[in-house]
Amino acid sequence: MNGYTGHTLWVDLTRGTTTVAATDDQALKMVLGGRGLGIALLTKLAPVGVDPLAPENPLILATGPYTGSGVFSAFFNVTTKSPLTGLAAASHCGGKWGPAFKRSGFDALVITGAAARPCYLVLENGRAALKDADHLWGLGTLATEAKLKADHDGAEVACIGPAGENLVKFATLMNSHRAAGRGGVGAVMGSKKLKAIVVKGRIGTDIFNKEKLKAISSQGGKKAMEVAQAFAKFGSSIAFDFFNAKHTLPTRNFRGGHFPDGSLINAQALKDKYFVKDRGCLTCPLKCGNVHQVKDGPYKLEEVEGPEYETLMSFGSNCGNSNLESILMANLLCNDLGMDTITCGNIFAWLMDLQESGIITADDLDGTAMKWGQHESMLALIPKIAARQGIGNLLAEGSYRAAARWGPSALARVIHAKKQEYPGYESRRSFGTGFSLATSSRGACHLRAQLYVNELFVGEFQEKGFEAHMDTLLDKEHFLAIADSLLTCKFGMRNAGYTWPVLTDLHNALTGADLKIEDLKRIGERIWTLERLYNLREGVEEDMLPSRFFAEDLADEQPGGDRIDKDRFVAARRMYYQARGWDLLGRPEAQKLLELGLA
């Protein structure tokens, strides 16, 4: 098929075998690739109720037809059963690895089993080899990538750090300073004793209409450069001031939505004091990844990419921390050790909240005092979590599970949906965005619907309220499922103004298919429904907001921010299920499954 290599690599690490097989054409027609192919394969291959860290849990890396074909096309997707949530984890990642993986000759890589000793995979021009990784085990992601690139000229490297090796439940997979960040995919890779995947090659894919693809792609890049100059200059950190001004910036473990010291840790502060150069994913004109340096002081560092908005929130405002250099260092440590900055920062905010509330003391944390803004303590705990050392062993489980040690009052202060810590959007002042975090198919996640764009950037829900726009949420959920399956960058394509007609044209130019917009929408809904079916099979928790949002007003002396009426939330959820053709418990009805070709 045009747009695909036609080959999938199957690796059984228990047996030490690698097998090349044809990619399932029928599956690609149903779900395109990337995230869609990931959930289809996970549903088929993972035993019901499998322990996410057991050898039987497959780790699936997949590209899409767009990977490597134009601007915003550097992405790949990782799917597995999440050790953090127990749901399908689908994490997409930019950088350079995705296109190089495809050029090595494969659409997808399915890894099952577990090796007896540390190993890494080398893929080149349709061939695969497993190699010993004893010498790499224990290294950070930066050193691992550098060493493997030195050993494999011209290759790209995706790898885990010590956090993944030690099965930290929010460990990441890294490449080129970019993370497949959420859900703990790095821990699943660590459970398989697989340190890295090295890829290189020159295998091309056939494109049905190169001229048209090039036209769409270059027009998108040009438009994005015109409308997103601030994003190109500052990256996602540009959003920090916006959300602070809207009073929707999580502050002090979601006690408030406004951080008075915001100007000390915003995009301008980063640019003024620490900026070195731009960096971006392969072929992207926006280059949103700013590289920073701290020249001296306790947090001196040579180079770190980011932090992004979410990291400024999680280690900054949400911890009451206005020391920007400590945030830069926390970002570097997490990237190098291979841990998700959103979950890690939220854990610290929660610990500070627990100490402030008198639920725990420093004695509960190996003598570590965690007061608001106490960045020295945060930075001391990060390596302990990655190494599962002392209290780090408990915190490596994520805040939901760690709360069990300190009882119901500690659990009540965790801000999570389906056991995954929240991204940077305060729901009490953005009900629709909060609602979308509760219904997200991988636990709290802003990238499943990006509803903050509609609600906060554009203000679409102001006049009639979110409930009058339920169709918008469904449409966004399906649209972004397609973006994750064709595989394009959500930031890039939003700035390029990509809509359903553009994605449909893009797909057809790549593959030669003659899909209509409605066909693509149906595929998006199919992917979303497959994820729901998988999560139901694995005992998905209720779609629900954190209990504090129904019980506490925001305490930031800004207008609004009253607690959410739970009846309003439950009524909205009923509308959402109805709009989806799901029953009252959120299970897809038989008719809906028939419509989507899933029954």
* Minimum distance, C-beta of residue 139 to ligand SF4, in the bound complex (Å): 25
Helix axes 375-387, 341-356, angle to 10 degrees: 120
| Whole-angstrom distance, CA of residue 527 vs CA of residue 484 | 10
Instruction: Single out the residue of 121, 284, 370, 396 in contact with ligand SF4 (rule: CB under 6 A).
Output: 284
Please say which residue, 238 or 410, places its beta carbon nearer to ligand SF4: 238
At 570 the three-state DSSP class reads helix
Question: Least distance in Å: CB of 491 to ligand SF4?
Answer: 4
Task: Report if residue 233 touches ligand SF4, rule: CB under 6 A.
Answer: no
The alpha-carbon radius of gyration of the chain (Å, integer) is: 22
CB of 98 or CB of 140, closer to ligand SF4: 98
Out of 28, 286, 381, 394, the residue judged to bind ligand SF4 by CB under 6 A: 286
Hey, how many other C-beta atoms are within 10 angstroms of the C-beta on 220? 23
Of residues 64, 86, 94, 105, which one binds ligand SF4 by CB under 6 A? 94
Nearer to ligand SF4 by C-beta: 7 or 271?
Answer: 271
Q: Check if the beta carbon of residue 310 is closer than 8 Å to that of residue 150.
A: no
Cβ closest to ligand SF4, residue 224 vs residue 510: 224
- Only one residue has tokens 């090295």, namely 198
Instruction: State yes or no: residue 506 binds ligand SF4 (CB under 6 A).
Output: no
The verdict on whether omega for the bond into residue 307 sits within 30 degrees of 0, i.e. cis, is yes
| Backbone torsion region of residue 371, taken as left when φ is above 0, otherwise alpha when ψ lies between -120 and 50, otherwise beta | beta
Smallest CA-to-CA distance from 490 within 447, 546, 534 is with 447
To the nearest whole angstrom, how small is the minimum distance from the Cβ of residue 292 to ligand SF4?
16
Look up tokens 């260092």; give the residue: 329
Return the range that interacts with ligand SF4 (CB under 6 A); candidates 99-107, 136-144, 285-293, 423-431: 285-293
Q: Which stretch binds ligand SF4 (CB under 6 A): 187-195, 335-343, 397-405, 489-497?
A: 489-497
Show Cβ contacts of residue 520 under 8 Å, excluding neighbours closer than 6 positions: 482, 500, 503, 504, 507
User: Rounded to whole angstroms, how far apart are CA atoms 462 and 460?
Assistant: 6
Question: Cα separation of 507 and 195, whole Å?
Answer: 34
Considering the rule CB under 6 A, would residue 239 count as an interface residue with ligand SF4?
no
Which of 29, 287, 566, 592 is in the footprint of ligand SF4 by CB under 6 A?
287
Does position 480 bind ligand SF4 by CB under 6 A?
no
Q: Cβ of residue 349: shortest distance to ligand SF4, in angstroms?
A: 25
579 is written with which tokens? 């709009």
For the chain, the straight-line distance linking the first and the last C-alpha, in angstroms and rounded, comes to: 26
Binding to ligand SF4 by residue 489, rule CB under 6 A? Answer: yes
Residue 62 pairs in a beta bridge with: 77, 108
Q: For residues 50 and 291, which CB has a smaller minimum distance to ligand SF4 in the complex? A: 291
3-state secondary structure of 421: strand
Region binding ligand SF4 by CB under 6 A among candidate stretches 31-39, 287-295, 404-412, 512-520: 287-295
Report the length, in residues, of the chain. 599
- For the record, the structure tokens of 78 come out as 């990782």
Strand order in the sheet with 289-294: 275-279, 289-294, 301-305
Least separation in angstroms between residue 239's CB and ligand SF4 is 13
For ligand SF4, the closer CB: 489 or 596? 489
Query: Applying CB under 6 A, what is the total number of residues that bind ligand SF4?
Result: 13
Question: Residue from 1, 42, 74, 527 that binds ligand SF4 (CB under 6 A)?
Answer: 74
For residues 461 and 453, give the distance between their C-alpha atoms in angstroms, rounded to a whole number: 11
**Which residue, 118 or 181, is less far from ligand SF4 as judged by CB?**
181
Q: Which of 491, 498, 528, 582 binds ligand SF4 (CB under 6 A)?
A: 491
Answer yes or no: are the C-beta atoms of 372 and 352 closer than 8 Å.
yes
Least distance in Å: CB of 102 to ligand SF4? 16
Write out the DSSP string of 235-294.
GGGGHHHHHHHTT-S-BTTTTBS--TTGGGSSHHHHHHHHEEEEE-STT-SS--EEEEEE
CA distance linking residue 216 with residue 509, whole number of Å: 9
492 binds ligand SF4 (CB under 6 A): yes
Q: Between 289 and 423, whose beta carbon lies closer to ligand SF4?
A: 289
Binder among 3, 70, 98, 289 for ligand SF4 (CB under 6 A): 289
Could you tell me the two tokens for 74?
A: 């550097």
Q: How far is the CB of 18 from ligand SF4 (least distance, A)?
A: 30
Tell which one of 31, 61, 142, 288 touches ligand SF4 (CB under 6 A): 288
Q: Which CB sits closer to ligand SF4, 334 or 351?
A: 334
CB of 587 to ligand SF4, least distance (A): 35
Piece of 131-139, 419-427, 487-495, 535-543 that binds ligand SF4 (CB under 6 A) = 487-495
Cβ 290 to ligand SF4 shortest distance, Å: 10
| Shortest Å, Cβ 545 to ligand SF4 | 29
Residue type, 75: F
Q: Which is nearer to ligand SF4, 225 or 598 (CB)?
A: 225
Q: Which is nearer to ligand SF4, 281 or 447 (CB)?
A: 281
Cα distances (Å, whole numbers) of residue 183 to 80, 147, 186, 303, 454: 9, 27, 9, 26, 25
Both tokens assigned to 2: 């045009």
Query: Using CB under 6 A, which of 72, 461, 534, 549 touches ligand SF4?
Result: 72
Cβ neighbours, 10 Å, residue 399:
27
Q: Please report whether residue 483 would count as binding ligand SF4 according to CB under 6 A.
A: no
Tell me which of 38, 86, 280, 307 binds ligand SF4, using CB under 6 A.
280
Name the site residues for ligand SF4 (rule: CB under 6 A): 72, 74, 94, 280-281, 284, 286-289, 489, 491-492
